[in-house]
């Protein structure tokens, strides 16, 4: 597998800036999750890495090689879209086989059969292999779409919210399976989601995007415990971080107007009568203080 490097990527659609000077390194063999709300630039990043979109400026390197001018097929990446895209006239088996029958791969039929059967069993669709794609439920279609990526051995896996249309139990099962596949194969995987549970349980690194800019990049624990802003802090944690006026705390910095507290940082104290009706809040050393309106604290 290969390292992905984004160098000062900018992309606009008309007057809308989708990505604004994004630089990021996805380490070889890592599971990187891009986290953010709709419109943050997550899918655009994937499409630029895959070659489906051209950046306005900047460059993408995969395995140390510039991707400038290369088509998606020449980049040897496998992408799973948010909306499953299958060949409706083909069976499930034929859809899974399709990437392996590429003239570039020239995979022997025996190896194709082995890979297709293994992936179908893992995704719980072995009993559907002879069905037409149009005879599947939405969740089954998405599993086939994921399977088409998993049967290959590309430089990079790109996944755009692949579990969003699945039921809760299957979604939880596939989180474990995808993480196991990535860990055991050493694959480089760039994964888009707005689900913080997926980010916390699957990622080795998380990139937090906001309005086309990369706000923070690091391990899930680093972003959870040392966020650079209230926005970054709010992307991880369940229940969400508490934001409280800094004036309630005597030890708050002079310029701070808000404090961000994780639930585990709050302790019941003896309290004082005037402010909190017999209650007080103690903040542990990891309590985080944010000046309101600033990007960094």
Higher-confidence position of 205 and 133: 205
User: pLDDT per residue over 228-243, tens digit each?
Assistant: 988 999 898 888 888 8
- The answer to whether residues 160 and 46 touch, using CB atoms and an 8 Å cutoff, is yes
Global pTM? 0.81
Q: Which pLDDT does position 192 carry in this prediction?
A: 94
- Contact of 79 with 149, CB cutoff 8 Å: yes
pLDDT band for 61, please (50, 70, 90 cuts): very high
Closest by CA to 154, choosing from 107, 93, 194, is 107
Q: Which residue has the higher pLDDT, 208 or 100?
A: 208
**CA atoms lying within 13 Å on the CB side of residue 143:** 27
**Which class for 268: exposed (0-12), middle (13-18), buried (19 or more C-beta within 10 A)?**
exposed
CATH architecture, range 4-230: 3-Layer(aba) Sandwich (3.40)
- 266-268 vs 281-283, strand pairing mode: antiparallel
Tokens 């604004």 locate to 20
pLDDT for position 271: 62
Domain ranges of the chain: 4-230, 241-290
> Per mean pLDDT, which range of 131-140, 185-194, 284-293 is the poorest?
284-293
Contact 159, 149 (CB under 8 A): yes
The whole-angstrom separation of Cα 53 and Cα 79 is: 13
Residue with tokens 């430089």: 155
Q: From CA 290, how far away is CA 116, in angstroms rounded?
A: 51
> Helices H, strands E: what count in the chain?
10, 15
What average pLDDT does the chain have? 85
């Amino acid at each position: 597998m290969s390292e992905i490097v984004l160098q000062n990527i900018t992309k606009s659609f008309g007057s809308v800036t989708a990505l604004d000077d994004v630089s990021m390194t996805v380490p070889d063999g890592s599971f990187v999750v891009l986290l953010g709300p709709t419109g943050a630039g997550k899918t655009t990043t994937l499409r630029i890495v895959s070659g489906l979109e051209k950046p306005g400026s900047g460059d993408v390197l995969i395995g140390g090689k510039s991707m400038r001018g290369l088509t998606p097929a020449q980049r040897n990446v496998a992408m799973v879209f948010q909306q499953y895209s299958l060949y409706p006239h083909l069976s499930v088996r034929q859809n899974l086989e399709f990437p392996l029958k590429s003239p570039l791969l020239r995979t022997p039929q025996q190896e194709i059969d082995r890979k297709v059967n293994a992936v179908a069993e893992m995704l719980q669709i072995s009993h559907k292999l002879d069905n037409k794609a149009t005879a599947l439920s939405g969740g089954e279609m998405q599993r086939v779409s994921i399977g088409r990526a998993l049967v290959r051995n590309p430089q990079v896996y790109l996944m755009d919210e692949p579990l969003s249309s699945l039921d809760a139990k299957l979604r939880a099962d596939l989180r474990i399976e995808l993480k196991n596949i990535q860990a055991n194969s050493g694959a480089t995987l760039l994964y888009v989601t707005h689900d913080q549970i997926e980010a916390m349980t699957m990622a080795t690194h998380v990139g937090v995007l906001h309005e086309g800019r990369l706000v923070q990049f690091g391990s899930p624990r680093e972003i959870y415990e040392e966020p650079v802003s209230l926005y970054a802090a709010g992307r991880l944690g369940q229940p969400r971080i508490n934001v409280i006026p800094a004036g309630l705390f005597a030890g708050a910095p002079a310029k701070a107007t808000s404090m961000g507290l994780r639930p585990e940082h709050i302790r019941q104290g003896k309290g004082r009568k005037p402010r909190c009706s017999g209650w007080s809040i103690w903040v542990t050393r990891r309590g985080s203080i944010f000046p309101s309106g600033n990007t960094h604290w």
